[in-house]
Structure 1
Amino acid sequence: MAPSVMEAMKPYWLTHFMLPGQGHPHAQAVGEALENAREGVALLAGCEPFEIVFTGGGTEANNLAILGLLASQPAGHVLVTALEHDSVLGAASSLVPKGWEVETIGCDSDGVVDPEVLAAKIRANTKMVCVQLANPVIGTIQPVRDIADLCHNRGVPVHCDATQAFGKMPVDVMTLRADTVSISGHKFYGPKGSGALYVRRGLHLSPIGFGEPREMGLRPGAENVPACIGLGAAASLAARCAGDVEVGIGDLRDYFSNGLISTLGDKVSIVCEDSIRLPNTMAVEMPGDAKRIQRAARQLAIATAQSDSPPDEITRALRAVGKSSAQIGRTIRLSLGWTSSRDQVDRAIELLADAADGIVAA
């Protein structure tokens, strides 16, 4: 977490340990702070505060968007892209035993979903389309606005999982035009277990959990007040510097990828290198086994595919762009943060080159 986020949260664990909604001044003060945090998230997302529902993270936000809209409707057809997060795929799949049909739309080899291909799959009984904004593995950005326009012309609502994009690039939900948009706090230096769902004004969702109604009746039980405060503080921080972050980290990512290619030559390749991508994320196909490189370069927090059946998030994304099992086994995922430096990137290139050379030599 960002230090300023931690400082903002501290009083709500200790001094201000009250729940909002009660009549006495102490609770009212907490309620005011919670609404200020909501305003911070709304500022980041480009919407009105009353369109923001606090959740326990991006996973809950995705579940609330999908099941909150669909669970009380007659069974129909749902379209999801092959690049979606487990929480989107799982929530949609949970409807299948109730008679729903869930259809998956692929992407091209550049990691992008074609809006016209998706639109051609819309049926008379299609009740929702789910399309993420940015992929956490290959980094590709989807044309959400174009997809949303095509869907809305057919009367179909759109859910967008934008958890990977906030804090790394400017995101405006009015520009996206999706009906619901998920946000996750720990993706931009907020606390883990904090998140929010943008719900377009006028759209009706049903709660998916039950108890004392909070968050406009969509979430039961006591709010995790410190997490909400932390999310608001992180959102305000991200809103102030999103444009600078996008350019600065994007330049550093290109420096990183160019350095790897310069050092290892055609032994490495950047997955979906020519696509519009997140400024901080790279999937790199290396010359040897990814897990061995992960162990050899243990100073780096490298992600690799963990399972093939059922496929994990990395495997699914790489399969979606046409990578073979052998290529997936050689691919690592790397990401940069706001505080990453050229010196760190130079050291990372050195560690990866040494690991790759050691594997090739063996």
Structure 2
Amino acid sequence: MPEPLKLKGIPASAGYAEGPLFNLDPVVARYRRKATAVDERLALQTAIGTATGRLAKLIQATEGDAADILEFQLAMLEDDALTGPAFAAIAAGQPADAAWRQALDAEIVGYETSDQDYFRARAVDMRDIRDQVLRALTDDCAAAAPAGAIFYGEDIAPTRFLETDWSAGGGIALKAGSAASHVAMLARSRGVPMIVGLGPVGLGASPAHLAGVALLDAEHGGIVLGPTRAEIEAFRQSSSSFAARRDRAETFLARPAVTKAGTAVRVQVNIADPSDVDGIDVSTCDGVGLMRTEFLFGKMLPDEETQYRAYRKVLEWAGDKPVTIRTVDAGGDKPVPGFTV
């Protein structure tokens, strides 16, 4: 019996999970090249239609921050600026799968190399869009995970997270990933334990390790593969202690914040994206101390309607509580294309 394998990562959503491992890293299916460029174009159009239909179905079953993520993906798939280069490559002789991958990979690089955490974290959404269409092109269906599984791999797609039933438990352990990603936000709002940053080797362990139970400690950022009986017992005690502390803390959330001497203290939240408020009960805070707006500035300046929707979402959530909005923080180490010099 192999020795337990212990790995360290970064907590992204606190909690504990015990269960079998499920490999997220995809097995690449082969694409059958079509006879003509016209057929290749039709194949890609059909695959994009399949992906948009899947997203539309998911949107109907979700709300709040999850729906916002899916609506972003749907809007991207319906944007000719995203799909146009792929169709142009098909017209030049490339097969649909290579044309789509090339076009999306170029977009993904732009997100990954951004100097803003927000946009770097959105790269996973672009990879999700890419892979959904590639799966549709190859008729490849994602394998089903067992109930209570701990998902592990390079990263996890937002759609995979939203299609998973977490009511039976489970968790997420990623070699890469980001605590600022959409999935991390979703995990925190739904109480799904998650760690990121296990490293390039990560869970690349022996089959004996991968076949057994895993213990995910997303409070401290660790995972144990092939644990001993003593480690399992200690883990369960830590899990019970965490649950008790969490339940006790929740009893204080709606109470006013005051010092021991009775002085009231205003407690406000800082947000970097409107979706951040979806996981916060407004009764547990005194409004928004700072709403950053860097998320609005990507490859182009936002129009008035885009800004209006973002600000309105947060203001409606806050009700009569104050919201401080930093309308722009650009220049110096924060250049904005088309705006700063």
TM-score (norm 2): 0.30
Q: Which has the higher contact order (CA 8 A, sep 6+)?
A: 2
TM-score (norm 1): 0.28
